[in-house]
Structure 1
Amino acid sequence: MTELLPTATWARTRAVLGELVRPRRWLALSAFVFVVAATGIGLLTAPLLGHIVDLVAQRRLAEAVTLPVLLIALVALGQGVATAIGTSLVARLGEGMLAELREKFVERALGLPLEQVEKAGSGDLTTRVTNDVSEIADGVRDALPELGRSVLTIVLTLGGLAVLDWRFLIAALLAAPIQLGTVRWYIRRAVPLYAKQRVAVGEQQQQLLDTVGGAPTVRAFRLAGEHVGRVRARSGAAVDLALRGIRLVTRFFGRLNLAELIGLGAVLATGFWLVRDGSATIGTATAAALYFHSLFNPINAALALVDDAQSANASLSRLIGVSDLPPVREPAHPAVPVDSSVKTAGLGHSYVDGHEVLHGVDLEVAPGERVALVGASGAGKTTLAKLIAGIHHPSAGSITLGGVDVAELGPSGVRETVSLISQEVHVFAGPLAEDLRLAKADATEPELHLALDRVGASDWVRALPDGLSTVVGDGGHRLTVTQSQQLALARLVLTDPPIAILDEATAEAGSAGSKVLEKAADAALSGRTGLVVAHRLTQAAGADRVVVLDAGRVVETGTHAELVAAGGQYATLWAAWSDHR
C-alpha cells in the first residue's frame, strides 16, 4: 500500500518562509525600496501626458511641450534604472531562499529511511524533487517578483487617482468588489484543487515507475492488462484535475474582464461629468483614464499570478513536508560490531496490507562466509536481504550484525556495516571519478584505479575518451548494463563494508555479461561476509553455503554438492537450470 510523504500545513509553510527571509531582511528591504521607487517614478508618466493634453487644448506653442516630453524621457530612464536594480535584488533574494530550501530538502530526502521511501513510492519523491522544485523556481524567478511589482503598482496608482480627484478613485473602486470576490471565489477552489493535482501526478508517476520498472515481471505473469488499467486510471485522474483547473482559470479571467469594463466605464463617465462642470481639465480626466487603463495589466497580472502563487504554494508545502520529517533516531551510545557475522532468529516480516512474507527465519552466517539465497520468485529472498541491510524493519524476531543487535547499532551503524547492491544500478551524471567518489569522497586516483581493476573494469575505463574524467550518465557517455554494474561493484570495494549483499546483481546482464559480473562480484566480495540473492545458480554453486527459501521459510541449507545429492528442491532447481543453460 502506498503511503505518500507528508505535506506541510499553510501555517507551517508561512513560518518557514519567515525563517528564510529573516537572515536576508536587509536585502529584502533594499529590494522593496527600489521596486517602490521604480513604480512611483513610472506613475509620473500619466500626469505628464495629461499636462501635454491640456497644453494642446489651450493651443499653446509647440515649444511648451518640450519640457514635459523631456521629463517623460527622464521618467522612463529613471524607472528603467530603478527597475533593473530592484529586479536584481529580488532575484538575489529569491534565489538565495530557493537554494537554502532546496539544500534542506535534498539533505532530508537523502536521510529518509529507505523503508519510508519504498512505502511512499519513489514516484512521489521524484515529483517533489523535479516538478515541485521547478514550480517553486518559476515562482521565485518570475511569478513572485511580478506579483510584488503589480501589487505596488495597483496601490500607488490608486493613490495617484486620489491625488487627481477623489471622485476618480471612487469610480475606479467600483471594479474592486467584483475583483476581490473573484479572487476569494478562485482561491477557495484553487487551493484544494492544486493540492489534489500534485498528489495525482505523484501517484501517476509512481504507477508508471512500477509498471515500466517491473516490465519483465508484468509480462511474465500476464499482468499487462491490469497494469495498463492502473496507469489509465491514474492518468485519467491527473488529466481530469488538470481540465478542472483550466475551466476554473477560464471562468476566473471572464469575471476579471467584467470588472475592467465596469471600472473603465465609471472613470470615463466621471471624467466627462467633472470636465463639463469645470471641476477638472481634459488633461486631468485623460490622466485619470490613463491611470485606470494602466491598472489593467498589473491587476490582471496580480490576480492571474494568484494562480501561479497557489501552484507554487502547493509545491512548497510538499517540499517543506519532507524537510520537516523528524530525523531517524540514533542510539545515544551506538555499539560497535565485534566481527562480520550475520544472525537472524525467528525473523518474520509482513507488509502494510498484512501479507506475511517471511516466517520464523533462522540464519547464521560466519565471518567471511559467502551464502547464496535461492528460491522461486516470491520466496522472500529480497525481503530477507532488505531486512538484513536495514531497509525494512522486521515484524518479528531479531537481526544481529557482528554480534550486536541492529537496534544497538542504529541506522548509521547498520549502513556502515552492510552494503546492498541490487540489479537497479544508478549511473550518476558527471565525471566517472566523481561517480566513484560517492562511495569514498577522499579517494585518490590510484585508489579508484585499484577498485576498478579489482572488478575487471580497468580496460574499458582506460579506453574511454577522457578516462576517469569522462562524463557519464545523462547527457554523457552511455555505459552498458555490465559496465554500470561493475561501477557499482567498484563503489562497493571503495566503501569496504564488512558485510555485503548482492541482490540479483547480475540479473540484467546477458549471458556474456553475466560471466564478467560473476567474476567481478567474486572479487568484490573477497575478504568480507557475503549474502548473494542468486538469480543464476552458478553463483550458488560457487558459494560456501546455499540457503533455499520457499514461501518465506528456510527449507534447505548446505553446500551445493550436499543439496544436489539430497535430491530436494535445490536439486530440482539445479537440474532445470542445467537443462536450459
Structure 2
Amino acid sequence: MSTPGADRALLPTASGAESLAALRTMLRGHRRLTATAVTVLVAGTGVGLLTAPLLGHIVDLVVERRGSRALTVPLVLLIVVALVRGAAAAVGSTLVARLGETVLAAVREQFIERALRLPLERVEAAGSGDLVSRVTSDVSVIAKSVRQALPEFTRSALTIVLTLVGLAVLDWRFLMAALLAMPVQVLSVRWYLRRAAPVYAEHRVATGALQHQLLDSVGGVRTVRAFRLNRAHTALLEQRSASARDLALGGIHIVTGFFSRLNLAEYIGLAAMLGAGFLLVDNGSVSIGTATAAALYFHSLFNPVNATLFLIDDAQSAGASFARLVGLSKLPAEQTAPGGLAPADGSVKVSALSYAYAAGVPVLRKVDLEVRGGERVALVGASGAGKTTLAKVIAGVHEPHGGTVSLGGVDAAELGAAGVRRAVTLISQEVHVFAGPLAEDLRLARPEATDEEVRAALSRVGALEWAQALTDGLDTVVGEGGHRLTVAQAQHLALARLVLADPPIAILDEATADAGSAGARVLEEAALRALEGRTGLVVAHRLPQAATADRVVVLDEGRIVETGSHDELVAAGGRYAALWAAWSDSRREPVDGAPAPERCAAMPADAQCTRGFPDGTGGGFVRS
C-alpha cells in the first residue's frame, strides 16, 4: 500500500530507542512522584490479593462446619481489604495520572517550542497537515492514554506480578498450571505487535495527509470554487479519507484476531488450574479452600491480563504518536547568528539567485536585484513567474540553491534565520488571527508595546476607528471562539503588527488580494503608510499598486525581464506595458461578459467576482 503523503518530505519520526531515551529524560525529574505512585499501587494491590485466601479460608471453615461465628472475623477482614484496596487504588491512580499529565505537558511544551524553531522551508516541504496532525491528533492520542490507559495498565501489571507470587505461595504447582497459558499469550502478543505497529504508524501518516488536504481545500475554498475544482478536491479528500479508514479497519481486524487468541489462552490456563486443584486436593496436598483460592487467583487474572494486553493496543498507538512528537528533535534548529551581527540599513542585494522546488525544475534562474534602503519595489509577473518564491527567499523562508542574499550589507547566511526574521517581516494574504484580546494579538509583534503604541500602530494603518468600535474596544476577544474579523480587518491587524515590529525591510506578498476591490484599495493605502520609513517589496496583485511604487520589477519564468519606474516601463512597450494595457482595457470593457470593476466591487463577497488579466496574471476582472 502506498503511503499517503509520500510525495511530501514528511517530518521525521523517532525510533523506539530514541523515544524511550526521551521518556527516561522526562521522568528523571519526577523520581519522587514516580516512586510514591508505584509504592501506593503496590501496597493497594498486595492488600487486594488477600481476598482470595480469605475466601478460601471461609470455604475451609464451612467444610469443617465451624459454625457461623467463625465466619465473622474473615468477613470483617474482607470488608477492610476492600476499603483499603479501593482507597489505595484511588490515590495511586491519581498519582499516576498526575505523573502522566506532567510528562504530557512537558512533551507538548517541548514540541511547540521545537516546532516554532524549525526551519520554515522544512515545515513547508512537509506540509501543514503533518505538523498540525502531530500537535492535535497525536497529542490527543497520548493524552487519552495518559488519562485512561496508564493508570489501568499500571494497576493491571502490578496485579499480574503479585498474583503469580501469591499462586507460588499457595503451591508452586498452581503457579506451573497458570503459566501454561503464557506461551499462547506471548505468541499472541508477538503476532499482534508485528502486525499492529506498522499499521498504526501508517495510520498516523494517513491522518496527517488527510488533515493536510482538508486544510488546503478549506483554506483555499475561494480558489477551489473560482476554478471549479470542487470535484478534484472532493476526489482527493475521498481518496485520503479512504486510505485512513482502511488502515483503521485493518487495525480493528488485527485487534479482533488478537483477543480471539487471548480467549484460547484463558481456556487453557483455567482448565489446567482446575485439573491441578482436583489432583492436589485428591492426594491431600492442599485443602479445598486453598484450591479455591488458587482458582480465584487465576480467575482474577483474566481482567488484568486482558486489560494489560488490550492496553498494548493503546500503547502502540500512543507510542507511534509519541515517536512523531519526539522525531522533531532530530531536525536541526534554525541557525543563530554571531552576537552583535545586524544589517546596517534596509538595503537588499540578490546576486545570481537560483531556487527550485523540484530537482531540474528551476523557479528562479540567476536573479540579480538591488533594492536601496527605503525604496519601495513592486514585483510583477504572470502566475508562476517566481514573484512569491523570490519574496520568500529574501525573507528567509527558503534557502537559495545558488547565489546569495544580503540584507543591509550582511550575508543572510551569516545573519542566520533568527537574524533574517528580525530584519525582514513577510506578510502574505494568509493572515492568522490569534485567539484572545485584540490588543494582545497585536503585541505578539512586540510584547512590551504600550497601549498608546498599539493605538498608534492601528491609527497609522487606518484601523483604529473600527477597532475601538468593537464591543469591548481593543479588549475584544477575537479569533477562534471570539469576534470574527473580516478579511480586510485581519489584514489591517497584520499591517499594524508590521508597524509595531518595525523591521527595516517589509515584504507584502499579495497582502491585499483577498479583500475585494473596495477593501483592496483601503488596504493598499494602509500598506503604503505601514511601509513608510522602511524598505518595501510588494508582490503586486493589482497593477495600480505597482504603479505607485518607486520601481517595478517584472519577472518571467524565473528571470527579471524588465525593471524601471511605471512610466518608463509603459513607454518602453514591453511586457509590463502589455499587462498595463490589458488592465486598462478591462477597466473600460468587461472581459468575457464579466461585470465592470465598479459593479464587481459592489457585489457581495460570495458573488465569485475575482480579479485577473485575461491571461490570468492579475489586475483586471473576470467572471469565475
> TM-score range with shorter-chain normalisation?
over 0.9
Residue in 2 that maps onto 1:476: 482
- The amino acid that maps onto 1:177 is P
Distance in 2 of aligned mates of 1:270 and 1:469: 75
Confirm or deny that 1:86 pairs with 2:92.
Answer: yes
- Answer yes or no: is the 8 Å Cα contact 2:552–2:565 preserved in 1: yes
Report which stretch shifted further, 210-219 or 143-152: 210-219
Distance in 2, Cα, partners of 1:159 & 1:63:
31
Residue type of the partner of 1:110?
L
Q: CA deviation at 1:565?
A: 2.8
Larger mean Cα displacement after TM superposition, 161-170 or 519-528:
161-170
Map of 1:521 onto structure 2: 527
2:315 counterpart (289, 298, 309): 309
Query: Structure 2: which amino acid aligns with 1:329?
Result: Q
Contact kept in structure 2, 1:198 and 1:315, CA below 8 Å: yes
2:41 aligned partner? 35
Residue aligning to 2:242:
236
2:356 maps to which of 350, 353, 361: 350
Contact 2:351-2:368 at 8 Å conserved across structures: yes
- 429-438 or 275-284: bigger deviation: 275-284
Map of 1:177 onto structure 2: 183
Write the mapping of 1:561-580 to structure 2, written as runs, cut at 5 A.
561-578=567-584, 579-580=586-587
2:491 corresponds to? 485
Q: CA deviation at 1:245?
A: 0.7
Q: Secondary structure at the match of 2:110?
A: helix
Residues 272-325 of structure 1: CA deviation (Å, up to 9, x unaligned): 333333333332222222211111111000001111111111111111110232
Q: Which residue of 2 aligns with 1:433?
A: 439
> Which of 385, 393, 402 matches 1:396?
402
2:291 to 273, 279, 285: 285
| Superposed displacement of residue 227, structure 1 | 4.4
8 A Cα contact 2:393 2:400, kept in partner: yes
1:74-132 CA distance string (max 9 Å, x none): 11121122222212221222222222222221111100111010111111111111111
Task: Spell out the pairing of 1:120-199 with structure 2 (5 A cutoff).
Answer: 120-199=126-205
Distance 2:401 2:228 in 1: 31
Q: Which amino acid aligns with 1:262?
A: I
Partner of 2:376 in structure 1?
A: 370
Q: Answer yes or no: is 1:451 the counterpart of 2:460.
A: no
Secondary structure of the equivalent of 2:358?
coil
Q: CA deviation at 1:225?
A: 5.0
What residue in structure 2 maps to residue 213 of structure 1?
Answer: 219
Alignment partner of 1:266 out of 268, 272, 286? 272
Q: How far apart are the structure 1 equivalents of 2:14 and 2:360?
A: 29
Would you say the 8 A contact 2:338–2:415 is kept in 1? no
- Find the counterpart in structure 1 of residue 593 from structure 2: none
Matched, 1:381 2:397: no
For 1:290 and 1:451, how far apart are their aligned partners in 2? 75
Query: SS where residue 370 of structure 2 aligns?
Result: strand
Would the aligned equivalents of 1:104 and 1:323 in 2 still touch at CA under 8 Å?
Answer: no
Unaligned runs of 5+ in 1: none
Q: What's the CA shift string for 1:130-168, capped at 9, x where partnerless?
A: 111111222222212221211110011111122222222
Distance 1:206 1:413 in 2: 30
Q: Do 1:340 and 1:402's aligned partners in 2 also have CA atoms closer than 8 Å?
A: yes
Q: Is the 8 A contact 1:334 1:410 kept in 2?
A: no
| Cα distance in 1 between the residues matched to 2:117 and 2:40 | 41
Question: Which segment is superposed worse, 434-443 or 199-208?
Answer: 199-208
**Other-structure match for 2:4:** none
Gaps of 5+ in 2: 1-6, 588-596, 598-624
Amino acid at match of 2:484: R
Stretch deviating more after TM superposition (2-11 or 557-566): 557-566
**Structure 1 position 460, deviation (Å):** 2.1
Percent identity, aligned pairs only, is 66
Which amino acid counterpart does residue 164 of structure 1 have in structure 2? L
Query: Offset at 1:546?
Result: 1.3
Worse-matched range after superposition: 325-334 or 220-229: 220-229
Return the alpha-carbon distance in structure 1 between the equivalents of residues 64 and 580 of structure 2.
Answer: 107
Distance 1:294 1:50 in 2: 14
Question: CA-to-partner distance for each residue in 1:525-559, whole Å, 9 max, x for gaps?
Answer: 11111111111222112211211111111122222
Secondary structure of the 1:394 match is: coil
C-alpha contact (below 8 Å) 2:461/2:530 kept by paired residues: yes
Q: Which moved more, 1:533-542 or 1:324-333?
A: 324-333
Per-residue CA shift, 1:236-266, capped at 9, x if unaligned?
Answer: 3222221211110000011001111121122
Q: Secondary structure at the match of 2:368?
A: strand
Q: Which residue is 1:117 aligned to?
A: 123
CA distance in 2, matches of 1:41, 1:467: 61
| Alignment partner of 2:112 out of 92, 106, 116 | 106
Pick one of 237, 255, 258 that aligns with 1:252. 258
Partner letter of residue 175 of structure 2?
L
Q: What is the one-letter code of the residue matched to 2:462?
A: G
Query: Is residue 68 from structure 1 mapped to residue 74 from structure 2 by the alignment?
Result: yes
Task: Say which SS state the counterpart of residue 274 (structure 1) adopts.
Answer: helix
- Counterparts of 2:334 and 2:60, CA distance in 1: 73
* 1-structure distance, mates of 2:318, 2:270: 32
Residue identity matched to 1:158: L
One-letter code aligned to 1:374? V
The answer on whether the counterparts of 1:373 and 1:546 sit within 8 Å (CA) in structure 2 is yes
Distance of 1:353 and 1:135 partners within structure 2: 37
* SS across alignment from 2:512: coil
1:503 equivalenced with 2:495 (yes/no) = no
In structure 1, the residue matched to 2:605 is: none
Q: TM-score, normalised by structure 1?
A: 0.96
Report the equivalent of 2:608: none
- The code of the aligned residue for 2:164 comes to L
Q: Aligned partners of 1:285 and 1:463: how far apart in 2?
A: 81
Distance 2:274 2:476 in 1: 68
1:41: Cα distance to partner?
0.9
State the TM-score, normalized to the length of structure 2: 0.89
One-letter code aligned to 2:63? A
Structure 1 runs (4+) deviating above 4 angstroms are 215-229
Q: Distance in 2 between the 1:332 and 1:510 partners?
A: 44
Higher mean alpha-carbon deviation, 555-564 vs 2-11, is at: 555-564
Shift of 1:562: 2.4
C-alpha displacement of 1:572: 2.4
How far, CA to CA, are the matches of 2:364 and 2:222 in structure 1? 24
Residue 56 of structure 2 is aligned to residue 50 of structure 1: yes
The superposition leaves residues 360-388 of structure 1 with CA deviations (integer Å, 9 ceiling, x where unpaired) of 22222111111111111111110010011
Question: Once structures 1 and 2 are overlaid, which stretch shifts more, 194-203 or 271-280?
Answer: 271-280
Give the distance between the partners of 2:312 and 2:282, measured in 1 at CA.
40
Deviations 1:28-49 (A, max 9, x none): 1111111101111111111112
Q: Is 2:343 the counterpart of 1:337?
A: yes
- Match of 2:180, SS? helix
Which residue pairs with 2:3 in the alignment?
Answer: none
Return the match for 2:466 from 447, 460, 464: 460
The equivalent residue for 2:306 is 300
1:549 to 548, 555, 573: 555
